[in-house]
Amino acid sequence: METISSVRGFKDILPGEVEKWRYAEEKAREIFSCFGVREIQIPILEKTELFQRGIGETTDIVEKEMYTFTDRGNESLTLRPEATASVIRAYVQHSLHAQDPVSKLFTIGPMFRRERPQKGRYRQFHQINVEFIGVGSPFMDAEIIILLMVLLRNLGIEGLQLELNSLGCPECRPAFRQTVTLFLRDRTEDLCEDCLRRRDTNPLRVFDCKVEGCRQVIAHAPQLLDFLCADCSAHFENVKEYLKIFDLPFEIKPRMVRGLDYYTRTAFEVTASSLGAQSAVAGGGRYDRLIAELGGPDIPGIGFAIGMERLVSLMPAANESFVQNPDIFIAALGDVPRLWAFALCNYLRMAGVRAEMGYDEKSLKSQMKRSDKLMCAFTLILGDREIQENKAELKDMKKGTQETIKLDNFDDIAEAIISKASGRNEEIV
């Protein structure tokens, strides 16, 4: 019978890799807590209208990439292609602004886009999303960027580059849009088919095109920074000054745009030199009109998203914190010792000790190999004689030393293992 494989563009995250993902998520939660960011969990399925209104109907995501279907109730539903619109929908629906005028929220989970799978890009991918809602001050822009950089550095990622731009606002962007549209109309023969379509519907998206011919055209296009109104210009200057307080280096990228329609003013991206052409690790920006466009009050916001797949690929491989190996393996020799081992093993687990045991009638040599393969800190050798004498040999697998411990009190055994395992962890640190 033919085996069934996973859907193209959907990836299994296997043991050994999952631990690295969990470490990144736990570190994120730890740092977010220091910045007052609280977790929100949102559905993976939303009404299609949410993304049409929030992301923009002329974006590639809405036009070509969403997983959309009509359910039995004849309602159009979509697997979420990004998280910000869903977070804002929940924020508005549950009137979170009435509970606190400032909301700092994060969510971690899968997103879905039907684009061409390639290395590091999948149709089901995962993101860490952070949203700061309720404050339009440039202090908030600088704070969320600082939070992002603190997290990436704490995960040991090197070769990071912070890039900034301002996308203006409804007051200054129309003039830029008109100028760019006229610029592109004079270069029709050099644009790809997608950019010809974008030229009149969403010309800023041309700046994000990866086709080489379009990139050469955009290299000579007008820059949005030259069209900023006084308020947007002052806002952007303040953001830069606040980042300089922390000696946080950045590069101005005047042709950077965000792929979604809702962004305004500050836009930012963090790249990693080791990733090559597809170097973006995280990106985000301000979206002061999105909440009102989704039916909420006129409240500003700013956020970012980190791609988990790329993030994990950049984290150092050798980190003892990623995988928590068993503290102890109980090598049982014989039926009665196996019963003792079963009782002791599960008692240790309930006491907070990571414990494994040999379940089958295998030799001591085979069980010691199993313990070594699992990278257990200690192995307890338990046979008929040990039970009769009420004592057993505890071997330190790293040092190769052994000591005799009593078997008459499981609490004492658990306490001893926890103490020894703690000591070993301190040695590793």
Digit-by-digit pLDDT tens for the chain (429 residues) are 889 998 888 999 998 889 899 999 999 999 999 999 999 999 999 999 998 887 776 666 777 788 899 989 899 999 999 999 999 999 999 999 999 999 999 999 999 998 776 666 789 999 999 999 999 999 999 999 999 999 999 998 988 999 999 999 888 888 888 888 888 887 777 788 778 777 777 777 787 777 888 888 888 888 888 889 999 999 999 999 999 999 899 999 988 877 666 788 999 999 987 776 567 899 999 999 899 988 999 999 999 999 999 999 898 876 656 777 888 999 999 899 899 889 889 988 988 889 999 888 889 899 999 999 998 989 999 889 988 888 888 888 888 888 888 887 777 777 777 777 665 544 433
pLDDT at 260: 64
Q: Report the predicted TM-score, pTM, of the whole model to 2 decimal places.
A: 0.84
Q: What is the pLDDT of residue 322?
A: 72
The C-alpha atoms of residue 95 and residue 403 are separated, in whole angstroms, by: 62
pLDDT score at 155: 92
C-alpha span between 184 and 217 (Å, rounded): 8
Give, for 335, the enclosing helix (H) or strand (E).
helix 335-350
CA distance 377 to 329: 8
What string of DSSP letters covers 245-299? Answer: TTT---EE-TT---SSTT-EEEEEEEEEGGGTTS-EEEEEEE-TTHHHHTTS-S-
Alpha helices in 119-165 (DSSP H): 138-154
**Domains plus CATH for the chain?**
18-172+228-314 (3.30.930.10), 328-419 (3.40.50.800)
